[in-house]
Amino acid sequence: FVKSSVIEGTQFEDDSDQETIDAKDILKRELQDERKTLPIYKFRDELLKAVDEYQVIVIVGETGSGKTTQIPQYLHEAGYTARGKVACTQPRRVAAMSVAARVSQEMGVKLGHEVGYSIRFEDCTSEKTMIKYMTDGMLLREFLGEPDLAGYSVVMVDEAHERTLSTDILFGLVKDIARFRPDLKLLISSATLDAEKFSDYFDSAPIFKIPGRRYPVEVHYTKAPEADYIDAAIVTILQIHVTQPPGDILVFLTGQEEIETVDEILKHKTRGLGTKIPELNICPIYANLPTELQAKIFETTPEGSRKVVLATNIAETSLTIDGIKYVIDPGFCKIKSYNPRTGMESLLINPISKASANQRAGRSGRTGPGKCFRLYTSYNYMHDLEDNTVPEIQRTNLANVVLTLKSLGIHDLVNFDFMDPPPSEALLKALEQLFALSALNSRGELTKTGRRMAEFPLDPMLSKMIVASEKYKCSDEVMSIASMLSIGNSIFYRPKDKQVHADNARLNFHTGNVGDHIALLNVYNSWRETDFSTQWCYENYIQVRSMKRARDIRDQLEGLMERVEIEVCSNASDLDAIKKAITSGFFHHSARLQKNGSYRTVKNPQTVFIHPSSGLAQLLPRWVIYHELVLTTKEYMRQVTELKPEWLVEIAPHYYQLKDVDDAGSKKLPKGQGRAAL
Ligand code: ADP
Ligand code: MG
């Protein structure tokens, strides 16, 4: 991140060494001046006084007022870091990284030294680190090693209004340790006005308000509902670009795929606009975007051009981009939803809440009057949007959290101090699932398997699969598969002009119809055989970045294997052994072929389909196991492997009985033992 205005015009053109040092100094000084212009600066001393006086404070301030970047620095300047680290949690990985990078610049230190970040599978901190930005999930994991967080003097739970699952659990844990650690300071900060609720929860903690500056925002609605919000967004971007005065545009999309689509179409459409129209710089931002590119959204837009930021929800409150004057809000976001009755979890594109819509609109009025274009009608806004987003804890699978809490020695989950308790059905489902995975015994206590599973920062099903690989002597293969699955959906790419080549390259990994899990393993192993060659990735239409990430994750999993004392050994020729290890984790996700080519999940029957991108999409095996469900036009299973039904009974005898997998098909649902056992 270099401010070009600083580098240009320095007087030291002859001495390049001199120039970099002085340019850095000037940059630092300029950043120091910039710090003083933030709304929070006027309240610095008052805030520090309040922290000194009270153990817990709730802080409320408009997005962009400087909470995340400034408060940890103030605390450092006031000497808190002499007693222990300052932690600042973020719900999102990108936010933790980006904010840490910014703060290290402001302090003029190298990222990872005094200021660092810690996110899943990436620890950019050192002995020296005093200010640590981290995802809420990572702080939760730190409790496992250090239940009183002795290394910290202050914990700032930031973006509390997001109410992620990990944040909600952190609330309960930090509230508890604050009781026996009077020296620990807790700051709960939020961008919205639900502060009373936080205050009530933390025994009437004082609320510190940072008045923001906000300019008026003109909100425009569409006259009629839009059939396709992607199309509508593109048209709106171009209209703004061609007809509206200078100012950058921020568009809220639901995920990487949408962002890439819009990026591609916009590039294509702006090519034909001619030289009279100013340049349009397109800046995508989403979780898997490489770090170098993430910084691009913060670069100042050159005079005479316009920037359009295509962002996920991350730009709603976590990241503030200066210079935004126009916001386009299609009104959707991707959220995980969970049906505790069936135990099915799915990523769904859902309408946002009114609170989100208002946050989004507010992004355009930070530095001057703004405009927000909502791609829905005012009737939709008034009548269809909920007031607030339901906290994640009430709409997610809790197995992971239950496993973490159990390994922290918290057994009485029903009486855990939740701000908003999860549905008891969901808690019960989680206990059942962990019992079926043999992570808990019939008294609900952690087993040896459960203890080992808790060491892995993965979903219980994935960590069970890894722990089970010991039995099948294929831990090498299973670790690779788990790492590849953790990357998500960004391993293969398919350029529009070379789709056939890309598809053929991809089919190579499926030779023998081995299923998607083994195909992922084949990709990883082939890459490893080329000594991790980038060229090989190009030739095979594979994203080298994703592969490197998979390799990093794999390295870390291998480190954890040592901790749980599982020997790394390879059993590459025995595919059934590998598939059985996968089944040990994912037996809940089994499905059986129906006459019409659809599938029916075995427990809690539901109709699902094999995703068209699967290597088994044409083959339709009788029995399959899948990694996840995604709902697009249909409910699809993604990453699918064929399975022998008798494995289910062999591997998960308390979950499946012979009649479940009897191909003649008895309709009656068996009584699982899980519930009775709890
Ligand atoms: P808050 O947490 O109250 O929303 P922040 O501390 O995140 O506010 O932001 C304060 C200022 O710092 C904003 O003007 C924002 O643009 C700037 N900022 C934050 N992160 C970065 C970054 N990575 N690069 C450049 N500027 C940043
Ligand atoms: Mg913030």
Which residue's structure tokens are 């408009």? 62
Quickly list DSSP for 10-67. -S-TT-HHHHHHHHHHHHHHHHHHHHHHSGGGGGHHHHHHHHHH-SEEEEEE-TTSSH
Decide whether any atom of ligand 1 lies within 6 Å of the 217 Cβ: no
Distance CA(101)–CA(112), nearest Å, equals 9
Q: Among 11-25, 510-524, 538-552, which is the least confidently predicted range?
A: 11-25
Q: Which helix (H) or strand (E) holds 144?
A: helix 136-145
Decide whether any atom of ligand 1 lies within 6 Å of the 298 Cβ: yes
Q: Residue 273 above 80 pLDDT?
A: no
The edge-to-edge listing of strands for the beta sheet with 248-252 is: 217-221, 370-374, 324-329, 248-252, 305-311, 279-285
Which residue would you say has higher pLDDT here, 570 or 664?
Answer: 570
Q: Residue 161 above 70 pLDDT?
A: yes
Per-residue pLDDT, averaged over 567-573, amounts to: 92
pLDDT (0 to 100) of residue 263: 95
The DSSP bridge pattern shows strands 623-631 and 635-642 to be antiparallel
pLDDT (0 to 100) of residue 604: 81
User: How far, in whole angstroms, is CA 117 from its chain's centroid?
Assistant: 15
82 C-alpha vs ligand 2 centroid, how far in Å?
24
Each residue's pLDDT tens digit, 36-71: 999 999 999 999 999 999 999 999 998 889 999 999
Q: Residue 673 above 80 pLDDT?
A: no
Name the residue of 69, 106, 289, 316 to mutate for ligand 1: max ligand atoms within 8 A of Cβ.
Answer: 69
Each residue's pLDDT tens digit, 436-446: 999 999 999 99
Atom of ligand 1 nearest to the CA of 319: 7
Per-residue pLDDT, averaged over 271-279, amounts to: 80
Decide whether any atom of ligand 1 lies within 6 Å of the 98 Cβ: yes
Q: Residue 8 above 90 pLDDT?
A: no
pLDDT confidence band for 77 (50 / 70 / 90): very high
Which residue's structure tokens are 């005898």? 653
Decide whether any atom of ligand 1 lies within 6 Å of the 101 Cβ: yes
Each residue's pLDDT tens digit, 288-325: 787 778 888 888 888 889 999 999 998 998 888 889 99
Each residue's pLDDT tens digit, 628-646: 888 878 899 999 999 999 9
Decide whether any atom of ligand 1 lies within 6 Å of the 66 Cβ: yes
Quickly list DSSP for 608-652. EEE-TTSTTTTT--SEEEEEEEEESSSEEEEEEEE--HHHHHHH-
As a residue count, the chain comes to 678
Each residue's pLDDT tens digit, 106-135: 999 999 999 999 998 899 999 999 999 999
Task: State the helix-helix crossing angle for 256-271 and 229-243, rounded to 10 degrees.
Answer: 40
Q: Residue 343 above 90 pLDDT?
A: no
Burial class (CB in 10 A: 0-12, 13-18, 19+), 145: exposed
205 neighbors 54 (Cβ within 8 angstroms): yes
pTM comes to: 0.86
357 C-alpha vs ligand 1 centroid, how far in Å?
21
Distance CA(265)–CA(271), nearest Å, equals 10
Amino acid at 46: E
pLDDT confidence band for 212 (50 / 70 / 90): confident
Exposure on the CB side of residue 429, measured as CA atoms within 13 A: 20
Atom of ligand 1 nearest to the CA of 69: 6
Distance CA(330)–CA(377), nearest Å, equals 10
Which residue's structure tokens are 């995604």? 630
What are the residues facing 249 on neighbouring strands?
A: 308, 326
544 C-alpha vs ligand 2 centroid, how far in Å?
32
pLDDT (0 to 100) of residue 3: 27
Per-residue pLDDT, averaged over 251-263, amounts to: 93
Q: Residue 672 above 70 pLDDT?
A: no
Residue closest to 393 by CA, chosen among 148, 557, 163, 177? 163
- Give Dmax (Cα) for the chain: 85
The DSSP bridge pattern shows strands 590-593 and 623-631 to be antiparallel
Each residue's pLDDT tens digit, 364-415: 998 889 999 999 999 999 999 999 888 999 988 899 999 999 999 998 898 9
* Phi, psi of 103, rounded to the nearest 5 degrees: -65, -35
Please tell me the residue having the least CA distance from ligand 1 atom 21: 102
Q: Residue 341 above 50 pLDDT?
A: yes
pLDDT (0 to 100) of residue 344: 66
Please tell me the residue having the least CA distance from ligand 1 atom 20: 99
Decide whether any atom of ligand 1 lies within 6 Å of the 295 Cβ: no
Burial class (CB in 10 A: 0-12, 13-18, 19+), 182: exposed
Q: Residue 6 above 80 pLDDT?
A: no
pLDDT (0 to 100) of residue 20: 57
Distance CA(246)–CA(249), nearest Å, equals 10
pLDDT (0 to 100) of residue 610: 96
Q: Among 490-494, 618-622, 649-653, which is the least confidently predicted range?
A: 490-494
pLDDT (0 to 100) of residue 342: 63
Distance CA(211)–CA(62), nearest Å, equals 7
Per-residue pLDDT, averaged over 650-669, amounts to: 74
601 neighbors 590 (Cβ within 8 angstroms): yes
Which residue's structure tokens are 């819009």? 262
Q: Residue 528 above 70 pLDDT?
A: yes
Decide whether any atom of ligand 1 lies within 6 Å of the 189 Cβ: no
- Structure ipTM: 0.98
Quickly list DSSP for 309-327. EEE-THHHHT---TTEEEE
Residue closest to 359 by CA, chosen among 394, 313, 309, 321? 313
pLDDT confidence band for 335 (50 / 70 / 90): confident
Each residue's pLDDT tens digit, 572-621: 899 999 999 999 999 999 999 999 999 999 988 899 999 998 999 999 99
Q: Residue 256 above 90 pLDDT?
A: no
